[in-house]
Amino acid sequence: MRTNTAFIQVSLAVTLSLFATCARNPVTGKRELNLMSQEQEIAIGKESHPSIVSSMGLYDNRNIQAFMNEKGKAMAKISHRPDLPYEFHIVDSPVVNAFAVPGGFVYFTRGILAHFNNEAEFAGVLGHEIGHITARHSARQQNKQLFGTLGTIATAILLPQATEMAQQGVGLALLSYSRAHETESDGIGVEYSSKIGYDAHQMANFFSTIKRISDGSGQVIPDFMSTHPDPGNRNVRVNKLATEYQAKNPANYQSNRDQYLRLIDGITYGEDPKQGFVENNQFYHPELRFQFPVPGGWQHQNSPVQFQMGPKEGKMAMILMLAKGNSLDEASQALVKELSLKVSESKKTTINGNPAYILISQQQAPQEQGQPQQQQQDPKTATQIATWLIQYNNAVYALHGLSAVSTFTDSFRTFQTVAGGFKALSDPDKLNRKPERVLVKSVPRDGSFSEVMSALGMPAARLEELGTLNSLKATDRVARGSLIKVIVR
């Protein structure tokens, strides 16, 4: 009884303090709880930016960056929060994505820039991302998470056996709330892009491109479990919003297809080989001059700071990254300290002539409240780690293999094969590999998209990929002299 009373008193105090910080949302005009000041939003953005740059890298293209700055500033000026110190950046990633950080930081990948087919598509997505900032979605999500947490705490105290069910309910509620944010930002994107003169119907068209990419990846998430609404549904809704906006605000709205295509002519497409690439079940890094095997059927993801891979079922994974320290001893000590590893085995070895350490260690999920500290580690939650620290070309690399304790013996054989294959890269073809780029060509003849691609020397096996890139289907008619994108190395 005393515990319940204390909880009610604390909850009441928190609730009163929350209502004391109500503020009017600049987009909706509604009064709502405000747990994050504008100064805090800006601070979050400034603190996040270096991490984003270090993990993804920036793409260096002065003309595209100048265009992005110009349109971003124009849109910020007519937005609901023109006083924020907006910054616009292009990150060096082939993934088709755009995102925003509180305080005015907006990021587009070079991957999404390559897939736009006119300025209006670009402007629609830019308006969507600025909309997340102006509508204070991060702050509103923080409010929702706090209430979800308080509700779960209350349930845990009053009815402990219902905690898991409550947490699942909170999770689904937050997914729905995030979808609401995405839908709201779509509407803001229509408004903002239209206000600076662009046809928002093109924003709707880009959702068709996103759907083709999503369907082609084979990783479609059911709408009710996704934080983003289905792209096909968004196409319909945004088209409707664009029609309504233009009916109320008649004007000559632009798409500017040719101008945009000329702007991105030559943009890097797909993985940049200088950051490393996978080919024939091998990972090659031309700049760092090493290679190692990738097990057949494993998925992989590369970034400037690490390479990670694993089987689809997720029973194990491997991660390569640069270790801290100038020697194997320094790297080993730093690793154990930073990750709080409990090392059960360590030994010196060599891998293809390179000095190396092998460390076998263990981590476990954090101790749950109420469990005795001396309780035996649960093999279902404990993680076993095999780490190879390899000294190569004045650097130390850490290659980690992770799996559950219960399956570690079997997994270790795979980890050992990968680590044992780490060696110097000397193949000139791999060392001098150039990235693919998007080139903009003039269509040489009237015909279907597939006929035009064939005439321009594009392989039939990449027709769907090229169709997605150009937002065209194989049978769509293309006029002689119009501009079109092709992929070349």
Model pLDDT, residue 424: 98
Regions of the chain with pLDDT less than 70: 1-35, 139-177, 217-232, 364-381
For residues 117 and 257, the answer to whether their CB atoms sit within 8 Å is yes
Enumerate the domain spans of the chain: 31-264, 285-365+377-431, 436-488
Closest alpha carbon to 366 in 375, 354, 357: 375
- Dihedral sign, CA of 184, 188, 191, 193? negative
| Strands 306-310 and 383-392, bridge-based pairing | unpaired
Closest alpha carbon to 70 in 27, 125, 135, 123: 123
Write down the pTM of the prediction.
0.77
* Torsion (CA) 116, 122, 127, 132 in degrees, nearest 10: 40
> CA 151 to CA 44: how far, in whole Å?
26
Give the CATH fold of the 285-365+377-431 domain: Protein Transport Mog1p; Chain A (3.40.1000)
* Torsion (CA) 247, 248, 251, 256 in degrees, nearest 10: -70
Model pLDDT, residue 381: 64
In single-letter form, the type of residue at position 221 comes to I
Burial 301-328 (b: 16+ CB within 10 A, else e): ebbbeebbbbeeeeebbbbbeebebeeb
Q: What is the tens place of the pLDDT at every residue in 141-167?
A: 554 433 333 333 232 233 333 333 333
**Strand pairing partners for 15?**
none
> CA 136 to CA 357: how far, in whole Å?
48
Closest alpha carbon to 348 in 376, 389, 311: 389
